[in-house]
Amino acid sequence: MGDYRPNHNTLKELCDELVQKKWITSIRVYDVMMQVDRKDFAPRHPYENNPQPIPCNVVISAPLLHAYALEALKDFLKPGNKALDVGFGSGYLPVAMSKMMNDEGCVVGIEHMEELYDFGIKNISKNHKKLLDQKKIKLNLGDGRLGCKEEAPFDCIHVGAVAEKPPDELLNQLKVGGRLVMPLYNKGNQFIYIVDKKNNNSFNAEEGLSVCYVPLTDARKQMPGNNVGGI
């Protein structure tokens, strides 16, 4: 490992690769990913287009997954809107979601692992502490499957863990016309699903990228040694 050389040495090199490979397809997402320096959130090899380990036996997702989520949610991340990020992990995505709204909305983040909760706050505070101080980003320690009723409804929700189906609490807290992006199981495999809420009883789900995430479960089952995945 002593002769390891990263593919990219700068954030621009990484973002340009994401454009070249069509993970980033809009100027808006490119600009946001250039504003949010991954080195604040990934302890090792921040500009590699692959996941990197963070505490609690999980990883910060590969940049392509962050780009994929931001592209899927870009029409729902507008100034004045409210977003929920379940399993915020490193803290990267709440900052990026806020930047998508020109820091004129509110991103609520939930993390059920206390070590990750502290890790995310520490990372965000490096260069974006103002977003925490001004309540543009509100981070909570708790069970993400329950959402955050006191802040609902949300224009969009991102979930960084896989389940058999979206939790009812999250669907109930999504605005009519809103969008949920999360990984779901399908025949034993995992795929990102884009779920649009047509009305309180009607949803449209579209299957997307094949992925590998940790299960959406309680903190005890996600203790080190049990699971490895991306958030």
Domains of the chain plus CATH, in order, are 11-222 (3.40.50.150)
Query: In the prediction, which pLDDT does 157 show?
Result: 98
Comparing CA positions, the residue from 114, 130, 98, 138 lying closest to residue 55 is 114
Mean of pLDDT over the chain: 91
Beta bridge partners of 194: 181, 206
* Helix ranges, the chain (H): 11-20, 27-35, 63-73, 92-100, 114-127, 129-133, 168-173
- Name every residue whose Cβ is closer than 8 Å to that of residue 27 and which is 6 or more positions away in sequence: none
Q: Which residues are known catalytic residues?
A: 61
Q: Strand, helix or coil at 82?
A: strand
What's the rounded Cα separation, in Å, for the pair 68 and 156? 15
Query: In the prediction, which pLDDT does 56 show?
Result: 87
The mean pLDDT value for 52-77 works out to 95
| Structure token digits, residue 167 | 């939790």
The mean pLDDT value for 190-217 works out to 91
What's the rounded Cα separation, in Å, for the pair 160 and 28? 22
Cα-based distances in Å from 101 to 59, 134, 156, 203: 26, 14, 12, 25
Q: How many Cβ atoms sit within 10 Å of the Cβ of residue 16?
A: 15
The mean pLDDT value for 52-67 works out to 93
Beta bridge partners of 106: 82
Each residue of 100-133: pLDDT tens digit?
999 999 999 999 999 999 999 999 999 999 999 9
Say if residue 164's pLDDT is above 80: yes
